[in-house]
Amino acid sequence: MCEPTTAALAIAAMSAAQAGLTYVQGTQAAKAQSDAIEDSAKLQLETNAEQQQQISKQAIDEMSARAREATIERGRLKAIQGES
């Protein structure tokens, strides 16, 4: 049978080991959560940049189409004026 002192030391050592393990697990979980948040933020930035590029391209395409239409309309007007 163990002495009371030895039993108390063993219990204290087990408690300390468990506290250390709990700390390490908590630290790992916090790191994993932090990494996940960082990855999510990077993905959101990339998505926003892609959306902005698409919006810019669409605006350029629309402006080009309007310019072509205006050029065609000016040509029509000049043709009409020439016929009169």
17-67 pLDDT, tens digit each: 898 889 999 999 999 999 999 999 999 999 999 999 999 999 999 999 999
Contact 10, 2 (CB under 8 A): yes
Asked if pLDDT for residue 84 goes beyond 80, the answer is: no
Query: Average pLDDT for residues 69-79, to the nearest whole number?
Result: 94
Q: Which residues contact 33 (CB under 8 A, 6 or more apart)?
A: none
CA distance 28 to 25: 5
